[in-house]
Every structure is written in structure tokens, then in C-alpha cells.
Amino acid sequence: MLIGFFLLWIILCGNVTLEILIFDLIVTCAVFWFTCRYCYWSVEREKTFLRLVLPGLRYISLLIIEIVKANAAMLRLVLRPGFQKQAQPMLVKVHVPLQTNIAKMTLANSITLTPGTITVETRGTDFVVHCFNPAFSEGMDSSVLVDALLKMETIAGHGKEAA
């Protein structure tokens, strides 16, 4: 958040001089102190956030790759002759080993973003997913997205290795 405040000030400032950077640093530290004091933020949370930036960017890139792959699979399915016979919509129960609600929500929304699948319900560590074709549900519980979220939980101190 400290770096974010500093960069926001520079972006909103127009021109950058040494005086502006020094004033920016002073104001940024004051706002960060206020945030820590009154908004339940801390230096430890800041460190955890900074450790999660690169894994978060990796997760976003993996999600984009999965969306592109799911789009290609849906196109292959829809453009084949006899499309109606191959469409076998079904509900699948998927168990995921995620512990935090934010990781579960992120995975549920990621599943919904990929074409051909929709997260219908979450019950603890079990997801009910509507799949357009049974092949779309294969490996959902151990996908690269689940692995990336598990690593992020471990970094944040919520994973099995941290316990």
C-alpha cells in the first residue's frame, strides 16, 4: 500500500521534481501511518501483500491461458457436425483443497469465467459445477489454478505448510 500511495501521488502529480518526490514521500508515510493506525492495516500485511504480487500476476496469466484453451475446446465442440448429440450438460461435484474463503471465491469465479463451465454452488471445500460436456470437468480439482491458489495460501500463511 505504501508503494501504491507513492505511485498514485506521482501519477496524479503531473510533473516530477526532487521537491515533489520529497513531499510525496512525507505525505505517503503520513497516509500509510494513518492507514495502519485507523484502518486495521499493518506492516506485516504490507509484506504479505508484496509477497503475493508476483504469484497473483502468475495466477492471472494462468487464468487467461485457461480461458483461451476453454474457448478453443468450446469452438471445436460447437463447430462439429452433430453438435446436439455431443452436448451433454451435467452437474459435477468437485472437491478442492483450498482453505480460505478468498481463494475459494477466486477459483469459483475463475471456473465461471472459463467457457463451458459455471460454478453453481460452493459448500465448504466442495463445488457444484455445471459443465457443458463431461470432458470439461476432468482434472478440475487438481488444475494449475488450484495449485497456484494453494501456493498463494501458503505464502499468506494459511496453507498446510504454514500450519
Please identify which residue in the block is written with the cell numbers 495460501.
153
For residue 18, give Cα distances in angstroms to 1, 6, 10, 21.
22, 14, 12, 5
Q: What is the mean pLDDT of the chain?
A: 88
Strand partners, 118: 130
Residue 28 amino acid letter = T
Whether the full predicted model's pTM is greater than 0.85, yes or no, is: no
Which pLDDT tens digit goes with each residue over 27-68? 999 999 999 899 888 888 888 888 999 999 999 999 999 999
Q: Where are the alpha helices (DSSP H) in 14-163?
A: 18-38, 43-79, 83-86, 101-113, 144-156
* Whole-number Å distance between alpha carbons of 129 and 43: 38
- Provide the residue ranges of all domains of the chain, joining segments of one domain with +: 2-38, 50-156
List beta partners, residue 93: 128
pLDDT of residue 160 exceeding 60, the answer is: no
Q: Is the pLDDT of residue 159 over 90?
A: no
Supply the angle between the helices 2-13 and 18-38 in degrees, to the nearest 10. Answer: 140
Residue 75 has pLDDT above 80, yes or no: yes
